[in-house]
Structure 1
Amino acid sequence: MTTPVRFDAAWERACKLAGVAASQGHDVVLIRDLSGRSTLLIDDRHDELAPNSDLLTLLRAECRNQLGPFAAHEPVQTASAMFSADMFFAAPELVVLSPREEHGAGRVSILERTVVGADWSAPGVDQEADSRRPWTRIALYGFKGGVGRSTATAILAQHLAEQGRCVLVVDLDLESPGISNLLADPEAGSEHGIVDHLTESAVGNAEGLKLLAKSSLTPKDGNGEIWLASASGTPRKRRGEEEPPYDYLAKLNRIYTDLPPAAAGGESRSFAQRLEDAISACEEQTAEQRGRRPDVVLLDSRAGIHDIAAVVLTRLCDRALLFAVDNPSTWEGYRMLFKQWQRQPALARAMRDRISIVAAMFHSAGDSERLNALRRHAYDAFMDTLYDLPDDDTPEPFLPDEGRVDDAPYAPLPILFGNDLVGLDPQRSSGWTKLPFVRAAYRDFLGAVEQLVQDSYKDKS
């Protein structure tokens, strides 16, 4: 009985066959479709291959033999036989597996056709755009949910506003909105939410949406402000009319697709660009409210492996705070994500410079041994994936002696855990962010993020 070819083995073999094709001097694109089937595209426009050439005959046979059910119906195709080869060979989402060698092998690139998750390894970091934007965007993300990310976002927003800053908080946890309940005044929510912008903009109807509400945590003294862009809107009942229905799920089910060009000759509109447009619209509306643009934008991202998290981390933020609880599942998850970035060294280098680990719900304030263990696990994950990259001229950081504090990305920013935080109901506890045990739990975290914000301003100036 022959052993069946499974998904992972088929992909590894397909990558090797792509290398064989590239060894003949041709650029190759390896496509994996939604079912996991692979197709080799060979760029022969400068050296056309006959349909029955030895190379093509060999590759077709090997694809069918080695990939089994994961070989496409036509597993090997040539650019010279395609109507528009640049749709594949010049696609912006290509990931380079091996670069072109001078007077040698051609380039091998990968093109993944997936429903979700492609943005984890898509070339998306636009440092030029980040530097042009005068305000700082900070993403808060956890691979696992339930680690206190939204609570930390609310407390951080108030802390920054107490420093006199204008803070915009955007709730991007669209499947499980949480930050809105911590920041919003139940009687004064925004009429529209992020899902409204994504659905209305798809048909060119986003003008006039009211996306912001003033947060109930805005300090009463000083110049600081907190504005909230909720995931969902709060319909307004107008005089003489019934309250309009609001079908959140119907909108949510339609937002993640890429869209065709809005007009002939235009560019297609990716989900990443549409999400950028929604956040930009919220930033513009803060200026319209008081004539003041935000100083800091906090993006409360969805947990787990999802397109929203991928886009937020790789494309939309200046800094990313990755919440971690010290257990095997957390580090296995982050290694999986880091390995996606590792496929593109330029992306990996950019990401390691913008992320910081947060020791979420850390149980012992004075237990340096446990904090050092978490730091060691974070360090190992970084070293295995985000350092020692091709053409890397940045020396690998060393792990300092235990007890020393360092500012490397793997150095955890602790948020202490206390039993009093369990079951805290912000709606019933007025001034909950100022309670002594809350302030004590978040003190080190707030101080560290405040420094990150100041450093970000220096980098932009």
Structure 2
Amino acid sequence: MSPCTFDGALPRALEQIRGAFAGIDFAEVRFIRDMNGRVHLVLPDSADQAEVVAARPHLADALGAYSPGSETGLVRLSDTFFGAALMDEPFLVQDINGTLIRLIERRVVGQDWALAPGTEAGASVAHPPRVSFFSLKGGVGRSTALFLWGRELAAQGKRVLLLDLDLEAPGLGAQLLPDDARPEFGVVDWLAEDLVGSPMAEAMLVERMLVARSPLADSGYLYVAPATGKRTAQHPAGFIAKLARAYLDNDRGGGEDFAVRVRRLLGTLERDLEPDLVLIDSRAGLHETAAAAILHLDADVLLFATDQPTVWEGYRYLLAQLAQMAHIHPAGDDDWRLRLKMVYARASEKQGALEGFRSRAYELWLDGLYDEQPAGGAEDAFSFAETDDAAPHYPLQILNDPRFEQFNPLEHLSTVGAAAIASSFGPFMAALDERVLGNEDLKAVDHAD
């Protein structure tokens, strides 16, 4: 037998269990992958103990380096430290050659990619509409689109909060706030202080030391919570050290991971500032922390993409991960998958470009997150026609314009002009108005300052 690999470990484990325990109900089996990738199997107590002992060495041999050892790699539920509580832990569902297995992931940094939206405590607290802007790579105009729509909403009388969660490549502060208008602190500072329970974490919020109003909004309220503030500019050598700690779980209560901490920060800002809308600039790529903005902030999620093979490959990985939690969703209009929406960024005006992008997106979603349509159809199947413009795969579009390459609003906004913004971003912003705000009246809203 060839050496086992990471990708081969789960199929081999499944094969061993199926051969040793004929007729076993895999809904009662838990596959556990530890932080090193080794695979543990937990069987129901109905499994015969003698058969468990006999199967252990065969499983260990099949898994090789991915076995935790013949004594601990295969046990019954009552023999685990967690006991029956293990069955209540969140799990992913993987389809391995037609068999659905329940997989519990043990990760070094958080569990956010392994938790479906809405399964975490406090996720359903009322809040204003939130929209996350995500991309696999930078340079696709994601932050520009976020700012321009926020500015337009502010001009319509909305109070808007922009939150920078692209912590490793902070941009909203530098692009939207002059140096002297920056707040004293940023999101990275708050996360570092919150980690150790410093009273400064609360002070930053109570005294509004984390947000500032952008002067680029001609009217209305456009608040920016940047990744960094004046204090980091004064002490740049400490930024990377703070960043390394920003992602860690704190020890509050039973411990809070990155998504829980960000949700708490965002909820406090919303109660203080009373925004009508929150726009979130997500970290690019598939890092563990990007899961917060995609899955755990109860937000609509815009998936920015250019029509390139490398981008489609990355989204294939993302949708495959999300498909493992697709079994956990409410029915109908509350399905969390409906919050996702593709955006064709830097779109070409060439004939057929939009149709080509849409077709490739549709194929991706069919293979990834859409439900397989059974014969005769099914009312509760999560599936769409390729030309259904309400479907997640059907893209919003932002036309390519070289004037927005390396666009810095503080320097270039006045020279680009309203006509260029309307031509490239106008349909995109109008579609978002309809998607997020519906027919809501866009008149100015009175707030208590």
Q: Which moved more, 1:321-330 or 1:426-435?
A: 426-435
Tell me the residue number matched to 1:227: 223
Is residue 421 of structure 1 aligned with residue 416 of structure 2? no
Please state how far the C-alpha of 1:303 moved relative to its aligned partner. 0.9
Please state how far the C-alpha of 1:305 moved relative to its aligned partner. 0.5
Is residue 137 of structure 1 aligned with residue 130 of structure 2? yes
1:189 to 182, 185, 190: 182
Tell me the residue number matched to 2:303: 322
Residues 9-48 of structure 1: pairs in structure 2 closer than 5 A: 9-17=8-16, 23-24=23-24, 27-44=28-45, 47=46
1:307 to 281, 284, 288: 288
Counterpart of 1:420, as a letter, is R
Residues 252-263 of structure 1: pairs in structure 2 closer than 5 A: 252-260=243-251, 262=252
For 2:346 and 2:17, how far apart are their aligned partners in 1?
Answer: 46
Tell me the residue number matched to 2:76: 78
Tell me the residue number matched to 1:340: 321
- Are the aligned partners of 1:169 and 1:298 in contact in 2 as well (CA < 8 Å)? yes
Residues 52-451 of structure 1: pairs in structure 2 closer than 5 A: 53-58=50-55, 60-73=56-69, 74-86=72-84, 88-91=86-89, 93-97=90-94, 108-116=101-109, 118-125=111-118, 132-205=125-198, 206-209=201-204, 210-220=209-219, 224-235=220-231, 247-260=238-251, 262=252, 266-286=253-273, 293-347=274-328, 350-364=335-349, 367-388=350-371, 393-394=380-381, 396-400=383-387, 406-431=389-414, 434-451=417-434
Deviation per CA, 1:193-213, whole angstroms, max 9, x where unpaired? 111221212222221112111
Tell me the residue number matched to 2:445: none
Please state how far the C-alpha of 1:130 moved relative to its aligned partner. 6.9
Structure 1 pair 439–248 and aligned structure 2 pair: CA distance change class (3 A): same
Structure 1 pair 112–438 and aligned structure 2 pair: CA distance change class (3 A): same
In angstroms, what is the RMSD of aligned CA positions?
3.0
Aligned sequence identity (%): 32
Deviation per CA, 1:326-359, whole angstroms, max 9, x where unpaired? 1122112112111112112244783430111111
Deviation per CA, 1:164-215, whole angstroms, max 9, x where unpaired? 1000000000010112222113211111111122121222222111211111
User: TM-score if structure 1 supplies the norm length?
Assistant: 0.82
- Are the aligned partners of 1:345 and 1:389 in contact in 2 as well (CA < 8 Å)? no
- Are the aligned partners of 2:110 and 2:257 in contact in 1 as well (CA < 8 Å)? no
Please state how far the C-alpha of 1:162 moved relative to its aligned partner. 1.3
| Unpaired segments ≥5 residues, structure 1 | 99-104, 238-242, 287-292
Deviation per CA, 1:58-89, whole angstroms, max 9, x where unpaired? 2x122122112111123112333334325633
Q: SS state of the match for residue 322, structure 1?
A: strand
Counterpart of 1:315, as a letter, is H
Q: SS state of the match for residue 154, structure 1?
A: helix
For 1:343 and 1:447, how far apart are their aligned partners in 2?
Answer: 33
- Are the aligned partners of 1:361 and 1:415 in contact in 2 as well (CA < 8 Å)? yes
For 1:130 and 1:258, how far apart are their aligned partners in 2?
Answer: 18
Counterpart of 2:31, as a letter, is L
Please state how far the C-alpha of 1:156 moved relative to its aligned partner. 1.1
Structure 1 pair 87–185 and aligned structure 2 pair: CA distance change class (3 A): farther
Structure 1 pair 227–49 and aligned structure 2 pair: CA distance change class (3 A): same
For 2:79 and 2:124, how far apart are their aligned partners in 1?
Answer: 43
For 2:383 and 2:391, how far apart are their aligned partners in 1?
Answer: 11
| Unpaired segments ≥5 residues, structure 2 | 442-449
Structure 1 pair 140–283 and aligned structure 2 pair: CA distance change class (3 A): same
- Are the aligned partners of 1:363 and 1:418 in contact in 2 as well (CA < 8 Å)? no
Please state how far the C-alpha of 1:375 moved relative to its aligned partner. 0.7
Please state how far the C-alpha of 1:244 moved relative to its aligned partner. 6.6
Structure 1 pair 128–208 and aligned structure 2 pair: CA distance change class (3 A): closer
Structure 1 pair 141–8 and aligned structure 2 pair: CA distance change class (3 A): same
For 2:438 and 2:254, how far apart are their aligned partners in 1?
Answer: 36
- Are the aligned partners of 2:216 and 2:410 in contact in 1 as well (CA < 8 Å)? no
User: TM-score if structure 2 supplies the norm length?
Assistant: 0.84
Please state how far the C-alpha of 1:374 moved relative to its aligned partner. 0.3
For 1:128 and 1:163, how far apart are their aligned partners in 2?
Answer: 35
